[in-house]
Amino acid sequence: MSTFIQGGNVQANGIRQHYLRYGGERFADKPALLLIPGITSPAITWGFVAERLGAHFDTYVLDARGRGLSSTGAELDYGSDACAEDIAAFAKALGIDAYHLLGHSMGARFATRSAVLHPQGLKRLVLIDPPVSGPGRREYPSKLPWYVDSIRQSLLGMDAEAMRTFCPTWTKDQLQVRAEWLHTCYEPAIVRAFNDFHDVDFHQNLPWLTVPTLLIVAGRGGVIQAEDEAEMLQLQPEMLIAHVENAGHMIPWDDLEGFFTAFGDFLGESIR
């Protein structure tokens, strides 16, 4: 049985923010759960994850600005701070006064910044394989042309098999969803986010986190290595770390059960 409730739009932080909701008001006695996807992942691509989360929490998956059905265009600021501000503004606009915040990749960087800027109402923070590149650090493993080339091809129209060139290990269903929605990723927004992986210091936020934080690391992603974990623990000693050993950076796509197992009872209960 699906836990999907509805999609919607809200005006928050000066833009239209589109979201998908799972679970609903039957979980009103718990904090809500906000999920921020990665650099080229519209909300709908995380639907198969949100279906499970929606069996435990009132879950909202957001389209970051410049992606999916949220506001886009040349006039918008796609920098890290603007995108981080969107998160707290979204919660306020919907009257969500207590929530857990999950972010994957780029979304984890935005979530970390949001947690520092607006800790009120935030209960728990989950960072899913965030890029730890930055000024003076090694580069993010993926390269910008991988994103740009696939977006430009999607604008012309592409099917699951054409997308397989870019994501060879994905299932046909996963490829089909990405092929259908990738064209909604605005290239300048993606370029800005990718450049910010290298130009913005993610680590500066870690000492200022005031909520319990879980870091989930992909064993085969190459994004976070052992020395990165050690540095992050120096900056935020209370942070918990879990590994999904047989998954690449897109952890739920590679090992969905391992992904949920990594949460343990961090959110107050096991997610099964």
Please choose, from the candidates 48, 61, 261, 85, the residue with its C-alpha nearest in 3D space to the C-alpha of residue 170.
48
Residue 77, pLDDT above cutoff 90: yes
| CATH code for the domain of 112 | 3.40.50.1820
Instruction: Kindly state the average pLDDT of the residues 181-189.
Output: 98
Q: Which amino acid is at 234?
A: Q
State the pLDDT at residue 102. Answer: 98
Confidence of residue 122 (pLDDT cuts 50, 70, 90): very high
State the pLDDT at residue 272. Answer: 84
Residues 6+ away with beta carbon under 8 Å from 186:
66, 67, 72, 73
Q: Decide if 153 is inside a domain.
A: no
Q: Decide if 54 is inside a domain.
A: yes
Phi/psi zone of residue 151: left (φ > 0), alpha (ψ -120 to 50 degrees), beta?
A: alpha
Instruction: Kindly state the average pLDDT of the residues 142-170.
Output: 96
Q: Decide if 132 is inside a domain.
A: yes
Structural element, H or E, at residue 261: helix 256-263
Total count of domains within the chain = 1
Return the structure tokens found at 121: 């109402």
State the pLDDT at residue 81. Answer: 97
Instruction: Kindly state the average pLDDT of the residues 65-94.
Output: 98
Mean pLDDT taken over the chain? 97
Q: Decide if 150 is inside a domain.
A: no
Q: Decide if 162 is inside a domain.
A: no
- Residue 38: give the domain boundaries: 4-138+200-263
Return the structure tokens found at 230: 């050690």
pLDDT tens-place string over residues 34-68 = 999 999 999 999 999 999 999 999 999 999 999 99
Residue pair 25/49 in contact by the 8 Å Cβ criterion: no
Q: Decide if 125 is inside a domain.
A: yes
Give the three-class secondary structure for 102: strand
State the pLDDT at residue 53. Answer: 98
State the pLDDT at residue 28. Answer: 94
What predicted TM-score, i.e. pTM, was given to this entire model?
0.98
Instruction: Kindly state the average pLDDT of the residues 211-219.
Output: 98
State the pLDDT at residue 52. Answer: 98
Confidence of residue 7 (pLDDT cuts 50, 70, 90): very high
State the pLDDT at residue 221. Answer: 87
pLDDT tens-place string over residues 226-263 = 999 999 999 999 999 999 999 999 999 999 999 999 99
Q: Decide if 205 is inside a domain.
A: yes
Q: Decide if 33 is inside a domain.
A: yes
Residue 188, pLDDT above cutoff 90: yes
State the pLDDT at residue 138. Answer: 94
